[in-house]
Amino acid sequence: MSSGMDPVTNGDPSASISKRMQPIGITQICISERVDCSKEIVEKYLSGSSASDIASLYSCSKQKILKILKKSKINMRPARTVTTRTAMLQQKAKSGARPFYGFCYFEGALTKHSTEFPVLLKIHRMWADGRTIHQINQELDKHKIKSREDKKWSWAAIRNIVQRFEQKILIIKNGGQYELR
């Protein structure tokens, strides 16, 4: 070893720190060493930060943060609810999701689409008569009825519409009336 380099580090001064001895941030020490940092956590939560955000800041689990907040007798905010497409349609208010085929938004309210709804009624009649998805697809192609994207109907698109009928998500009544569940 005439070059004077350490054979383990090959001259790299940063290699002298072992993987087990990596430096830890002050926030990790705060949680892991049981130093009381609950006041900081409570302040961050009350200022609007979520438990997940605080957990990532302190490099610990969300459950630890929730435990600290519970111990501090903080009223927890309700979890943010994820709105499903069906719930969104029941609200009859516009959101980012596209409505079911046959429907559109007009002035923020869910209404029948002027050109799609009659096609939806036709699909419903064929389905109620006992036709298969393939037969419905052939009938729509035969009459050159295009889908929402102005293309030929796909089997999957018709299946999705029929599933809404079968699962009673969309109920078509007499006279063109409908009910969304």
Token duo for residue 126 = 């064929």
Least confident of 70-79, 88-97, 124-133, 147-156: 88-97
Q: How far apart are the first and last CA of the chain?
A: 80
SS3 72: coil
Cβ pair 140, 49 in contact under 8 A = no
Per-residue pLDDT band for 13 (boundaries 50, 70, 90) equals low
Least confident of 34-43, 59-68, 106-115, 156-165: 34-43
SS3 177: coil
- Topology classification of domain 85-180: Hect, E3 ligase catalytic domain fold (3.90.1750)
| 90 has a pLDDT exceeding 70 | no
Count the alpha carbons within 13 Å of 180 in the hemisphere toward its beta carbon: 17
Alpha helices in 100-154 (DSSP H): 116-128, 133-142
Q: What is residue 23's predicted lDDT score, i.e. its pLDDT?
A: 53
CA distance 163 to 158: 9
Q: What are the residue boundaries of the structural domains of the chain, listed by start?
A: 22-71, 85-180
CA distance 136 to 119: 11
Helix (H) or strand (E) holding 178: strand 178-180
Query: What is the per-residue pLDDT across 21-52, written as a single tens digit (0 to 9) for each?
Result: 555 555 554 554 455 678 888 888 888 888 88
